[in-house]
Amino acid sequence: MNNSKLSLAAMLLAASAALTGCAGTAPQQGVYPASQPDSAAYGTIDSIQLTRVNPNASGTGAIAGGVVGALLGNQIGSGTGRSAATLAGALGGALAGNEIEKNRAQARDAYQISVRLDNGDYRTVVQDSAAELRVGQRVRVVDGRVYRY
């Protein structure tokens, strides 16, 4: 492999590693990640609150944008100018890809349902609808969702 291809590969690897660390989002007050699947349990609804759910960015947009940007930047100039254009393209593409991914995963309203289980534990579930659920109602919690019992 010649030096220009080796330096291009090294720059792409460094840019994607650096930007993957930037892809995560810090938790925001009042914004909860989607709930994880749980086993079946029975209990009583303790509270229901409207909240915002903000899906996490996976970093795929940053990586894909970095690769595309590096490929486009590599088409410009020659020698060290080409290397600089490749690096700039990788960084710019990764930033753009990350922003595109964040815009596609918009925050949405959801219901945070707190359930006091029969064994005394509490389980909090975040789901899109609570249409038939009321505080004090007996429910079944299956795979991260609350159902009337």
Tens of pLDDT, residues 66-98: 888 888 888 887 888 888 888 888 898 888 888
For the cut 70, the answer to whether the pLDDT of residue 126 exceeds it is yes
| Residue whose token pair is 């579930």 | 125
d(CA 53, CA 30): 8
Q: What is the 3-state secondary structure (H, E, C) of 95-121?
A: HHHHHHHHHHCCCEEEEEEEEEECCCC
Tens of pLDDT, residues 16-55: 665 555 544 444 445 555 554 446 899 999 999 998 877 6
Arithmetic mean of pLDDT, 107-128: 90
Domains of the chain, by residue range, sit at 3-148
